[in-house]
A = this chain, B = another copy of it.
């Protein structure tokens, strides 16, 4: 079988089909491509709640960690404190979350969801779970489990 013909470049020095086989051996390239693909879908679906993927992550951390501080959110999501302030202010103005004084650290502020925020996140997390199934529809349940396990081995 003339594999060379299938791979062949068109005329003199022009490229027919782009060969990305080298980049595909690099983890960073693959992780970035998947990240872009999934986050684009995530962005589309979360637009219904007027939440960016990062907004969703922040609120989700507050759901599962009532009283969490800005600093802790920054640590968990690899954000910088100055870049979190505005996002929290906006979500406070939207009445999605509330700041309460921290029980045993006067410098810190504990974050909590309002009832409105709770109801929004109940729906948003359902949407995220549905989207998750969609984005991984090409994988079996076992493959998805393996994928998450391997990814977590790399950063956790």
Contact = CB atoms under 8 A, between A and B. Distances in A.
Contact of A34 (B26, B135, B151): B151
A38 B34 contact: no
Number of copies: 2
B64 A19 contact: yes
Given A14-B102, A103-B14, A147 B148 contact: no
A25 B88 CA distance: 24
Given A22-B60, A132-B25, A72 B147 contact: no
A27 B135 contact: yes
Contact of A138 (B23, B35, B153): B153
* SS of A interface (majority): helix
A36 interface: yes
A34 B152 CA distance: 8
A148 B25 contact: yes
A151 B139 CA distance: 10
Contact of A132 (B27, B75, B76, B138): B27
Interface of A: 9-15, 18-39, 42, 53, 57, 60-61, 63-69, 72, 75-76, 78, 100, 102-105, 110, 112, 125, 128, 132, 135-136, 138-139, 143-144, 146-148, 150-155
11 contacts: A12-B103, A14-B67, A22-B60, A26-B128, A29-B57, A31-B38, A33-B151, A37-B154, A138-B153, A146-B150, A150-B150
